[in-house]
Amino acid sequence: MNPWPPLAYDDWKDTYATLHLWTQVVGKVRLAQMPWINHSWHVTFYVTARGLTTLPMPNGDHSLQFDFDFIDHRLFILTDTGDSRTIDLEPKSVCDFYEEVMARLAEIGPAIEIHTMPCEIADAIPFNDDHEHASYDPGAANRFWQALVQADRVFKQFRARFVGKCSPVHFFWGSFDLAVTRFSGRTAPEHPGGVPHLPDWVAREAYSHEVSSCGFWPGNDMLPYPTFYSYAYPEPEGFREAKVAPAEAFYQPDLHEFILPYEAVRNAVSPDETLLAFLHSTYEAAADHGNWDRAVLERPAK
């Protein structure tokens, strides 16, 4: 059985839209509770053997953790005191989900307040007013998580070859993608900002230094299929013309990214080798055209 599941965008886009917003509700709790870490690394989630987790975060003198379980389809709210709550993942509006999360948090205290406007989504609706997004197909959510498990596993292999500053492999609920980012060590030009419902200073802090970043994203109406991506900021001259692997990869000028459709990896004879070829070749394009000191930043392959 192929461990890389089918994930056609049109088959689950309504569940995807709702789940994206549910993760933002939980993500905003993490944002409210965590001390700031460079490049917004304090807000991210992590792939687990059952779904996604916030990991522990401060809650007064104690710790609080959220776990999305895409096997039993529950959201677990856990504390270090042993007090816990669960919320069923089933068809319900974003408004209802938000109210459930806030009610369960109030039961275990202390009170937490979040900003209810979603991030990085055009034409966003505040959580407490959103009755439009209310879909949840458990099979589709499970397949998305299975795809994350596979991507997370290969991304960690890729990450291990770099000894310079590098992010964890982590999930950004704002853009709804799994990502890992390498840094040259040099500062970057000021980012122009302009991300919907995201303060420009956040984007500028996120891109304060030169990066080569890659990830997995389930797509949108403009690019209606799941994809792996890789980009450089700032984009060096010659990057977009670079020859990268595999043959199915291409540069998408509107996104300013190299793209490798998920299906090209899923249907490959060796999905791991295909994805690793994409990750390594696009990083090399960024590093070579950007004059990174690769001898210092990389660990030789064994």
Q: What is the DSSP string of the chain?
A: --SS----HHHHHHHHHHHHHHHHHHHHHHHHHSPP-GGGGGG-BEE-SSEEE---EEETTEEEEEEEETTTTEEEEEETTS-EEEEE-SS--HHHHHHHHHHHHHHHSS------SPSS-TT---GGG--S-----HHHHHHHHHHHHHHHHHHHHHHTTB-SSB--SEEETTTTEEEEEEEEEEE-PPP----TTS-HHHHHHHTSEEEEEEEEE---SSS-S-EEEEEEESPPTTSTT---SSTT-EEETTTTEEEEEHHHHHTSSSHHHHHHHHHHHHHHHHHHHTT--HHHHBPPP-
- pLDDT of 301 > 90? The answer is no
Residues 30-75 pLDDT 10s: 999 999 999 999 999 999 999 999 999 999 899 999 999 999 999 9
Residue 139 has pLDDT above 80, yes or no: yes
List pLDDT tens digits, range 151-175. Answer: 999 999 999 999 999 999 999 999 9
43, 190 Cβ separation under 8 angstroms: no
Average pLDDT on 268-293 reads: 98
Write out the two tokens for 24.
């933002």
Which pLDDT tens digit goes with each residue over 217-240?
999 999 999 999 999 999 999 999
Q: What is the mean pLDDT of the chain?
A: 97
Q: Which pTM value belongs to this model?
A: 0.97
